[in-house]
Structure 1
Amino acid sequence: MRRFITIRDVLRLPVLVEGMPRVLAGESRLDRAVRWVHVTELLNPANFLEGGELVLTTGMPYPEDTSKLRDYVDQLADVGAAGLIVELGYRYQKVPEQLVAACRARDVPLVELARGVRFIDVTQTVHALILDAQGELLRRGRDIQDIFTALTLRGATPEEVVHTAAELTGAPVVLEDLAHRVMMCELLGRPYEPVVSAWSRRSRAAPTLEKVAPSGPEGWLIAPVEDHQGLWGRLILLDSRQSPDADPEAVLVLERAVVALTMARLAGPAWWERRAHRSVLRDLCERRFRSPADARARAEALGLPSFGHRLFAVLIRHTRIGGEDEHLDERIAKELERTGVRALVGETAPGRIGVLLALARASAWQPVAERIGRLAHEELGPDSVVAVGPGVTDLSGIARSWQEAEETADAIVPGSPDRRFYVPSDIGLPELLGVLSDDTRLQRYAERRLTRLIEHDDRNGGDLLAALRAYVTAAGNKSVAAKQAGMSRQAFYQRLHTIERLLGCDLESGLQRTGLHVALLVLDSRGRAAPGI
């Protein structure tokens, strides 16, 4: 992708190869960009340089006192010259050791030419390449601008903008907020763990500059992202080439991407944190991460601690979707943050809000779950259900915890007795059968056991099904069952006799009574009420 000429490129040109170039210092800086080539024999070349120039010299002006060569090199380094090429044969037969030492001290690339070359040929060749690269960069810049303008006009998501920036640069791109939390990232197929591991510490070591520029010990290319309140965060390109100079095309990409992101934030409420939480929650619950290390790195980069914490999956199931009740996850997240609870909160599906708690004290989960349940009832009404999965010590187990929380939430009938939250142990046989009520095998079983009673009641306006329900609910205690059914004992006994005759069963058998009770529970879970009830 690089659109600039480097010292390494210049040294490979035939016009320089003829001079038998040899690098004496600054080997690690050969990928520096060459903005221009400047031929000079002056002792104070810095007065005529602006930075990025590759200086060619025969060494003619060098002082007799070679100790003063350090001042010469300091001038080049301070002004930001790309490097220094010395042609031997005029002033020196060998580059002075003091000049080599000075260049090494300031990490300035120093190249000697053992044979003479025509400097005019070097400048013409290099300048032609530089101008061609600049022209190509201008053309490419127009294409980049068109791409991001199109994204902005169609209201592209921030994830699309970040993905496009990574695709165009060929390097991982991270969008972080001011707290150095990774909101979004596009790693181009790379694993999360080596890229975003210990992100907060590494990010804080790279200060934000006034414009798009490399920063920090890892040489990240960083662009500030703003909104109506000022600086919001940063868009960061992690270029593995570790070039000391910013790739001009990469700078263009980040500049245009930042404009698109800023426009998105200015257009209205930007729930980017919720989007980030939602994405990570879904990836955790659906086991999309490559490895536990990847999952841990991504969650920690978003601000969720894992080591030394107990993790709990919480699911909030509700029926209010859209309208004024949008962004309920935002309100829940703010409440948890206000009370100091570290968590990921996001809508995982319509009518479902997921919360992943990270608690330093495992025993603290119940008060937090109580608080979430109270908030859910206040915001969503009594039909909301809060379910908590078992705690785990590692993110690799959170998918199982989440699954148990979902099963628990699905088993609870909305409007159940006022409880703030439920756990898997709260699920009894009626709730379990309710979850399994769509299983055709259970449906056939219930119909097979109870059809004759249902048909009898439908034909005669009877209450045999109600009598059977009272009987099995009372665990076979006929006196208690008759009282609950509002019948005399004689009338109730007669109905039991009729039930036994129609079904061909013995109601005194505990096993048969249990089978009928299960059939009634399956029937009730499907919403079919008995006649007369």
Structure 2
Amino acid sequence: MISSPERGGTVSTPTLRQILRDQLAPADPRILCGHDRLDVPVRWVHSSEIYEIGPLLTGGELLLTTGLGLRGLDGGTRKHYVHDLAERGVAAVAFEVGRTFDEVPDEMVRAGSAARLPIIELRSVVPFIDVCRAVNTSIAAREVDELRMRALLDDALHDDLAAGAGVAPMLGHLADLLDAPVVLVTAAGALVSAHGVDDDSAAWRVVDRAVAEVPVRSRGRSLARLVVGERAGAPTVPYAEALLRAAAGPVSVGLTRAGVRGSALAARLVEDLVDGRPLRRADLETRLAGAGVTVGGPSVLVPLAAEAPDPRMADAAVAAAAFDSMARSIVDATVYALVSVPVGGPGDVDPVERVASGLARSTGLGRTTIVVGDPVGIDRSRPGADASRTLTDSLRRCARQLGLAASAVSPAGAGRRVHTAREMLVDEAIGTLEPSVRAELSALAAPLAAHDERASTELVRTLAVHLAHGCSATRSAEVLHIGRQSLYQRLERIRVVLGFDPTEPSVYASMMVALRSLAAGA
């Protein structure tokens, strides 16, 4: 654990409002324009009477002046002075009146208003040097503290990388330094890890009310987000974005580093396919054979993608299925695999179902979510077919659907960890519908949801299971763990609540999509 040098008293970048209140209050300040910009951070306080001061400023400064350098200049030149400061990104101009000007010239106020540059009139004298010393000392102290914290964080994160500890302890170091909860979610929307929260629900609340977040990138792609939540007792979390950015690189390395892998040849082949590198059929077959994946005879490749809070957990879960012929790798915190499945034998089972069943039976599935894609044949009789492109598209589709699968949007499939890409297509399709159409679909099943909420029943799940099992009373009752008579009673109640029979062929498809749309939050 690393401790924050800030605990017991934080130093944060002062805002213009704070400086007006704390250091410039004796000057009796009056805000002439830019009232909506009082909460901008001030990165330095500078005093100058030079007319051409703009090129010497870098942005974020509060400029203190008596206007001496503007004496004798015409109105147009004074307006140019204001525009130049605004273009430089100056935080504000504080203008002491009574020495050079009795009041701030009107044309300067109008120019400041147009440029949204706060101009403050100081009606009493305060020593500029005292204001500069007080504020700049505070800013410098903050920068020193930030550098110290970044050094502490860098040391801790690189120690974690050297030890192969994964991303969980990295988030712990961040949370300790910031004294605030930190959450890591994938770009697909899956929760990877969290520190400083009690459960997954609390982690998602942090994401919803983020104080700051930064992307975690690898090879030019955004693969995750680092999110920091509110500090206990105070929403402001000093240095949050700076420390998140400092941690993003090591976290990216921790995410993409492989855990338990197959052969190096197999891992590299999967990585090349995920990256979309084109492969000739002969090269693909050669590399599959070199990776120990069967391609001869009647067989197909079944792609899959898996995610877990730690990618090594997902990799171990896929490995535990113990398929005879498989290539796999961890790419950007997601496990990708190709499973070779023989086909064409008597009583053959669907290859997708065979792989999905094998994964569902594997030990140590835990919090791993898996999507199994459609089979791809490496068929020499079709020389025009681009097998590598098809595999790339299927692997990426599985990864894209992991977020939907992890949220278990299907009421009939709630609690499952292994899903197929073809069953997730309807959920992807729902996401592309117009909001009004999704709302109409959800409205079909909304009365059942309202009844469940009011009477603590399970009508929505009952109907979803019944439709998903072809309206077979025997199979539906088994899945729901109730007797057939109880099922019939629930179905009758469903008809009464809806006012129509949702199992009729004419509305069957609409009701299935409506239930998925309702579960997806449409």
TM-score computed with the length of structure 2 as normaliser: 0.48
Bigger radius of gyration among the two? 1
TM-score computed with the length of structure 1 as normaliser: 0.47
